[in-house]
Structure 1
Amino acid sequence: MPRKKAGRQPRYGTIDVLPSGRWRGRYRANGVLTNLGTFETWEDAEEALAKVQARFTLGLEKEPTRKGQNGLEMVIDQYFKTRGKKLSERTRTENLASLNNHVVSYFKGIPLNQIDRWKIEVWWHTPTMEKRPVARRNTYFALRSIMNYAVARGYIAENPCQVEDAGATVAKDRPYMSPADFDRIVAQAPQPARMIFEFMLGSHARLGEVVALTVADVSLELGTVALVRQIRKDGEAPAGNKYGSKRTVTVFPSSFAPVRVMLASRIGTKPSDPLFLREDGSPITRTYLQYHWRKAREKAGLPQFHVHDIRHTGLTIAEGTGQGIKNVQLRGGHSTTAAALKYQHARLEADSGMADAADAALQLARGQLVPRAEMPKNETD
Structure 2
Amino acid sequence: MKFGKYAGDWIGERPNLRPRTVELYEYLFRVHLKPMFGDKPLSDIKDPQVRRWRKSLLDRGVSAVTVAKAYRLLKAVLTTAVDDQLIRRNPCRIKGAGQEKSAERPVLTVAQVYKLADTIEPRYRALVLLATFGSLRWGELTGLRRRDLDLEAGTVRVERQLIRITGKGLVFTEPKSAAGKRTVVIPGLITHDLEAHLKDFAQDGDEGLIFAGPDDGPIWNSNFNRRFWGKALADAGLPKIHFHDLRHTGNTLAANAGASIRELMDRMGHSSTRAAMVYQHGSNERLRQVAEQLDTLARDQLTKASGTQRARKRKRAD
Is the structural similarity TM-score above 0.5?
yes
Answer whether contact 2:160 2:173 (CA < 8 A) is retained: yes
Q: CA deviation at 1:238?
A: 2.4
Query: Which secondary structure state, in structure 2, belongs to the residue aligned with residue 187 of structure 1?
Result: helix
Structure 2 unaligned blocks of 5 or more: 274-282, 287-291, 294-318
Alignment match, 1:318? 254
Query: How far does the alpha carbon of each residue in 1:178-200 deviate from its partner, in whole angstroms, 9 at most, with x for none?
Result: 22222222222343321221111
Q: Within 5 A, what are the aligned runs for 1:1-381?
A: 70-83=1-14, 86-126=16-56, 128=58, 131-132=61-62, 133-220=64-151, 221=153, 223-232=155-164, 236-240=169-173, 243=176, 246-254=180-188, 257-258=191-192, 261-262=195-196, 265=199, 269-277=204-212, 284-286=219-221, 287-288=223-224, 291-333=227-269, 335=270, 339=271
How far residue 111 of structure 1 moved from its aligned partner, in angstroms, is 3.0
3-state secondary structure, aligned to 1:105: helix
What secondary structure is seen at the aligned counterpart in 1 of 2:158?
strand
Distance 1:180 1:259 in 2: 16
Moved more, 312-321 or 279-288: 279-288
Query: For the structure 1 residues 97 and 163, does the alpha-carbon distance in structure 2 shift closer, same or farther, using more than 3 Å as the test?
Result: same
CA-to-aligned-CA distance 1:353-377 (integer Å, 9 cap, x gap): xxxxxxxx9xx99xxxxx98xxxxx
Equivalent pair of 1:199/1:251 in contact (CA under 8 Å): no
Question: Following the alignment from structure 2 to structure 1, what is the Cα–Cα distance between the partners of residues 111 and 203?
Answer: 37
* Cα gap change, 1:122 to 1:185, in 2 (>3 Å): same
Whole-Å separation in 2 of the counterparts to 1:143 and 1:241: 28
Q: Which has the higher contact order (CA 8 A, sep 6+)?
A: 2
- 1:280: Cα distance to partner? 7.7
Which range is displaced more, 176-185 or 224-233? 224-233
Runs (5+) with no aligned partner, structure 1: 1-69, 344-360, 366-370, 373-381
Tell me the alpha carbon deviations over residues 9-50 of structure 1, each in whole angstroms, 9 at most, x when there is no partner: xxxxxxxxxxxxxxxxxxxxxxxxxxxxxxxxxxxxxxxxxx
Q: With structure 1 as the length reference, what TM-score do the two structures score?
A: 0.59
Letter matched to residue 61 of structure 2: K
Q: Distance in 2 between matches of 1:78 and 1:289?
A: 36
The 8 Å contact of residues 130 and 136 in structure 1, kept in 2 or not, is answered as: no
Cα separation, 2, equivalents of 1:310 and 1:268 = 24
% identical equivalent positions: 22
Aligned length: 274
Structure (1 or 2) with the larger CA radius of gyration = 1
Read off the aligned partner of 1:320 and give its amino acid letter. N
2:11, 2:90 → 1: CA distance?
Answer: 18
Deviation at 1:314, TM superposition (A): 0.8
User: Using a 3 Å threshold, how does the CA distance of structure 1 residues 140 and 206 change in structure 2: closer, same or farther?
Assistant: same
Question: Which residue of the partner structure matches residue 298 of structure 2?
Answer: none
